[in-house]
Every structure is written in structure tokens, then in C-alpha cells.
Chain A
Amino acid sequence: MAKRLAIVSLFLVAALMLAACAAAPPAAEAPAEEAPMEEAAADMSGKVVIASGSMIRIGGSFALTGPIPDPGLNIRHGAELAVDDLNAMGGLEGFMFELVAEDGACDGTQGTNVGNKFAADETIVAVTGGTCSGETFGLVPILQEARIPFVSPSATNPDITSADCDVCNRVALSDALQGATDAAFVVSDLGITTVAVVHDNSDYGKGLAEIFQNNVMEMGGEVTGFEGVQVGDTDFRALLAKVGADGPQAIFFGGYSTEAGLIAQQMTETPGLEETAFMSVDGAYTKQYLEAAGDASEGTYISFVAGADSEEMNAEFDAKYMEKYGVSPDDLGPFHSQSYDSVKLLAAAIAAVASVDDSGNLVIDREELISAIRSVDAFEGLTGTIKCDSMGECGAGGVQIFQVMDGDFSQVSGFGME
């Protein structure tokens, strides 16, 4: 009996682990079966027809739960404000915009669920998001199949856009740039030759850590260790002791705020790492990082993929944001301007292809919309002049590097300082 119970328990543990990974009930199957029908309908017309009085529905995949809920909410707010502004200006031909927000949870499985939901809903014209790279990788194949174009405000993994995907676009800058800039800063500006690289096993964190590692090695630096943690871990002491045994001059972490903050904090408790420099990336460019790291954040470096912000437009945006949500946009996360621009960019592309038919319906051709996004040229957004290339890279701006001084980020190098 004891043995049987033990075996049952083992299955339960396995089931719980699976449940933890899958987070949300896999509602994917039902929409997946419907999808071919939808697709057939879409293929016949290939058009979204919006009846007079209905809304132009834009889907949104935001990381409202998961490792970075505050930045996720911040990005959602940015998108909501963009929709408010579009509607305040009269919408499009009398049709109003509507944001259909879903929780992508910063996670590939949940991204897939959200993608299926949008694909099954033939009124969804376009999608903004996802927030995280892993989540966006979940969206990509489904939206590609359903011919729904998306613009991500913050997914930075280089492989989000590719020659194979014509619906994939982003306003954020690719990590190919961030990884190279960070490596150049560490090796050339800080004069550091030995670095340990740590990542959180997310598509975003690991991808960026690999790019950084390759760049450091190309520049003649030595990578003393390449180690992974899990998103949600809180005790990194064993890992840091192992990394510290090689005595690196710096530790680079690819991942999100909480883990970055805890690593910075626990480094001060690890023999051999007390004086080691710490650098992390845009996923940790948040107040949450400063809070989690506490005093240990002082002197650490964080890079960010910044837009070429227009001061005037941002001041107006910040005021509206404060009025609607009661907090300063920068308190929650860094990508609100990109999110605002993603929605405005989609709206501009929709405006370019939409037409009103004889019975007063708004008609949007999906294929035309997909190519219209790629031909956006000189769109003035909060993050600068946005111009999409043939791969779907629409971001303006560059990589900035910050150092934490007196409990706040202050820029020490990079875009805007050259």
C-alpha cells in the first residue's frame, strides 16, 4: 500500500510539474479545429468586413502575469492610450478602434493560446504584442497561418523577424544590436577581459546571453562560464559560488528584473564576487530591478533599447498617462512608448488599405494590410521616425547603457551620447 501510494504521489508530482509549465488550461484544441474553417472563409474573401457601427478590433498580447507583470501592464496602458487617441481623433471613416487585450504571460505556451484565440476570431484585424520574445514565438506560426499581421513593442530576440514570416514586425530593436553594444561596452569601455554569462533560460534571456557571449569572444574577451537559471528562482548562491570560483571580472545576466536584482544582491554575499561588475539588459531596466537588488544595485550596469524619443510628444503622452492611470509611465516599465507606436503604426497601415463599400461596411484586405505595414515610411511616433524594412524591423533609436547611481539609472554610454 505504501508503495502504491508512493507511485501515485510520483505521478501527482509529475502532473503538478506539467500543470506548472502549462499554467493555463490548454484551450488551444478547440480553436485549432475551428481554425481551418476560418481560414477557408478568410481565403475566399481574404478580407475583414466590419459592419457599420462595429469596431475595428486590434488584438493585444501582454505579459500581465509571469515574471514581468508591471512592464506588461505598462505596455497595455500604452496601447490603450493609443486607441483612446485614435478614437478621440474620430477613428477611421467613422469606425472606432477597440483593443482586445489578452494575457500572454511572457510565456510561449500562453502565447500560443492567445494566438489561437485571435486566429479563431475573424474580427481581429491585427495584433500588437507580444511583450516577451518567448510569448511572441508562440504567436508567430499561428498568426502567420491566419494571415494576421502583428507588431511587437518589446520582443527583442533577433529571430522574431525572419525572411519566412511576412506578418512579423516590431518596433523594438533587435538584441543582435544590444548584445553587440553591451559586449563592446564591457570589453572596450570597462576594459574587462573575463566575463561569466548567466541567463534565465527564456527565449529572450538565453538568446541575448548567447549573442553577448559570441561578441565578447570575437573581441578577444574570455567567457569563464555560461550558466542558466530558471525564471522564478530566488536562491542563486550555489550558482554564484560556482561562477565565482573562476574569478570573472564581470557577470552578465540575460533575463528579467527580479532574477537580475537577486543575482546582483547575492553577488555581494559570494566570496570572490564582492568587487565583480554586474551587467544586465532591457528586461531588467525597471524599478522592480532596483527594488529587488536593494543597495546592491549601486554601480551595476543595465542596457536598454531606447527609441529616438521626441521630447514634446512624450511629455504630452506622459501627462495623459498620469491622468488616466495615476502613475508615471516610467514607474512600471520602459516600453510604453514603443507600445503606443505599435498601435498607431497598425492604425496607419489599416487606414492606408481600408475602404468603405457600397453598403457602408469597412473592408480591409488582409494581404494588403500585411504589405502596407512593411511599406510604412517616415511615420512620426513617440520613439522617433519609424520606417519598416522588408524584414519587419521598424524600430528607431539605439542601445543605451545605464549605471545605477544613487538608486536611479543614469546613462553612461550609448545612443544619444555619442
Chain B
Amino acid sequence: MTSSPVKAQAAGTDGRAALKQFTRALGVAIVLLVIWRVTTVGLAEGYPVSFWISQALNGLVLGGVYALVALGYTLVYGILFMINFAHGEVMMIGGITGFFALQFAQARGWMEGPWPVVVVALLLIMFVGMAASVVIGVTLERLAYRPLRQAPRLVPLISAIGASLFLQYSVLLIFGVSPHSYRKPALISGGLRLGDVFIPYTGAIIFVTSILLMLALFFIIQRTKLGRAMRAVAEDRSTASLMGVDVNAVIVVTFMLGSALAGAAGVMLGFHNTVVKFNSGFIPGLKAFTAAVLGGIGNIPGAMFGALILGLIEAIGPSALGIPTEYKDVIAFTLLVLILIFRPTGLFGEVLSEKKA
């Protein structure tokens, strides 16, 4: 209590600098505290190396899923400067559609066929899930966001939250409250055993596929005409339009790309965790948003690395800090708060021009 008037006085005389110093000192203190805790717990528990590898692999799989969803947040933010809070639900729609596609394939016995048939069927299922997500994503843009494009920034955000609830409860009413269970085909059940480390096939597939999809996205944005148009719109919408870029088309394509990635994530998460229901997109959506902010929202490599870092921290954090695993969400969201306090532009900063901000 005694220190607060002193602090207030300091803030009064030389407010900004003092505050900056204070937050910096606080940041250093927090980092030191975490390092100290990790070291003491690590020494006390004495987990084997294979344990940390297993946890890191769990984290990378989680991170791969977050990355695919986070890219959708970041792409849309980069172009429209709005946060599409219904993006988690777009992913859930992919997962639910994938479930019905899988049932269709199972009814025809494709899942028991020779392995090329199964692989093709799995790719088809993923494609169907992605297509459904794309349809929902584009519809959302057309109905919920485009009419509000000239409105103040907060308005489309609120519209997005409404859309999120609408999608959740529509799925609840149409497909029921009970969870739907994916039946994994034998080909991707089980996993690889390397000593004391176990890698589930679905986990490996998620990680590899998410990397491939991210590379494809990177190629589209950096190497194609379409990507150039997207970058132009992100830079300055009205100038791009004057240069002959069809802004509406670019925005629709952006939603399509983001939704397709989310749909793929939804289907793969369905195979990995085997359960989807109406609200399965909510928490992963929030986590992916956290990941996007962590990396610097609007920044594409930032979203990828932010997601992988978040996944790793969630998987390793509870063991490393010696706290119960139920606090993994607390760790994730605490990280979000700390990032917003100490580095509001995210770890990788915003690469986009100052003009839009």
C-alpha cells in the first residue's frame, strides 16, 4: 500500500517511461520465475528424455491443427481487419461433414478395401469436409460480413459472434446433442513405436498434412497472380481496386482458402480424437485465435509458428511447471494476456503497413 502513492507520483511526472520500465522489469521477473520453476521441477521429477519427446510430439500435432485454423483468422484479418469469430465453427462443420462422408464410405465398404482405395477414400472425405467448410465460410462472408463492410469495426465482430452461436445451435438442432464418433479405418489406427515413444499415425498425418497445406498456401500467396492480388488488397484496398483488382472476388477467395484449411483441420481432428459435436469448434477456435495473436495477427508465418509454440507449451507446460494438466487452458490464455501486455503486435510483429492499423 505504501508504494502505490510513490508509484503514482512517478507516473505523474514521467508516466510513460516509468510504466515501460515497470512492465519490462515485470516481464523479466516473470520469465525468471518460470525458468526457476521449470528447473526445480525438472530436477525433482526426473522424467526420462523419451517422456519429453512424447510430449513434444503431442504438442506438435496440436500445433499443426491450431496452425491450420489460425491461418484462417490471420488471412481474414490481413485483408478485412476483422476477427472472424465464427471460424472455429467453420472447422466444426468440416468435422461433422467429414463424419457423414466417412459413414457413407464405410457403408460402401471402402474402408475395408486395399490400401490405395482407403487412401483415396480418406482424401475424398477430407475434400468433402473442406468443401462444406468453404461453402459455410463463403456464405458467412456474403450474409454476415459483406453488408457490414463499411460499418465500424466492432459491428462485424459482433456479427461474427452471432454467426458462431447460430452455427453451433443449428448443428445442435439438426444433428443432435450427442457426440458423433469417427471409426478409424485399420490403415490409420495405431501408430509407430520408436523405443519409448509412440507416434499415432493420425498424429503424423496431421502434422505432415498441415505442413503441406501451409506450403501450398504460401505458394499461392507468394507465387500466383491471385496471391499478388490478395497482397495488394491487404496493402491498400482502394488503391488495389483502382488498379483493376476485383476486391470482392479477392475477399471471397480469402474466405475460401481460410475455410478450406479449417475444414481439413476439422476432418483430421475428427480422425485423431474420434469425437465431434456441435461445440467441438469453440475451444480449438479460441486457441487458434490465441495462436494467431501470439504470432502477430495478420502475419502468416507468425500464425504458423505461434500455433506450434502454443501447441508445444500446452503439451509440455503442465509437466514442466509441475502443475495439474487441467490447467493447460489456463497456461494458453495466460500466455495470450502476457503477449498482449508485453508485445501487443505478437512475437513476429505485424508485417502489414501502418496505414491499416
Contact = CB atoms under 8 A, between A and B. Distances in A.
B324 interface: yes
Interface stretch (B25-33, B236-244, B276-284, B301-309): B276-284
Interface string B295-318: 001000000000000000011101
A258 B83 contact: no
Contacts of B51: 241, 245
Given A2-B350, A3-B344, A238-B55, A258 B275 contact: yes
Contacts of B275: 234, 258, 262, 292
Task: Say which size band chain B's interface belongs to.
Answer: 35 or more
B15 interface: no
Contacts, number: 124
- What 5 pairs across the A-B complex have the smallest Cβ distances? A228-B326, A69-B177, A234-B273, A239-B325, A3-B344
B230 to A, nearest CB: 20
Given A7-B340, A16-B286, A238-B325, 15 more contacts: A6-B340, A7-B344, A9-B83, A12-B83, A13-B333, A17-B333, A65-B177, A235-B58, A238-B316, A238-B328, A242-B319, A270-B54, A271-B50, A292-B181, A294-B181
B357 A2 contact: yes
Interface residues of chain A: helix, strand, loop or mixed (majority): helix
B328 A271 contact: no
Interface stretch (B114-122, B132-140, B191-199, B255-263): B191-199
A229 interface: yes
B293 A9 contact: yes
A265 interface: yes
Contacts of B231: none
A118 B220 CA distance: 59
A230 interface: yes
A44 B340 CA distance: 58
A292 B179 contact: yes
8 contacts: A10-B340, A16-B85, A232-B279, A237-B58, A238-B316, A242-B55, A262-B274, A270-B54
B54 A241 contact: yes
A20 B282 contact: yes
B177 A64 contact: yes
Contacts of B104: none
A201 interface: yes
Interface residues of A, number: 45
Interface string A146-166: 000000000000000000000
B312 to A, nearest CB: 10
A10 B336 contact: yes
Given A13-B286, A227-B325, A258-B275, A271 B54 contact: yes
B96 to A, nearest CB: 14
Contacts of B337: 10
A70 interface: yes
B318 A288 contact: no
A89 B178 CA distance: 35
Contact of B198 (A6, A17, A242, A270): A270
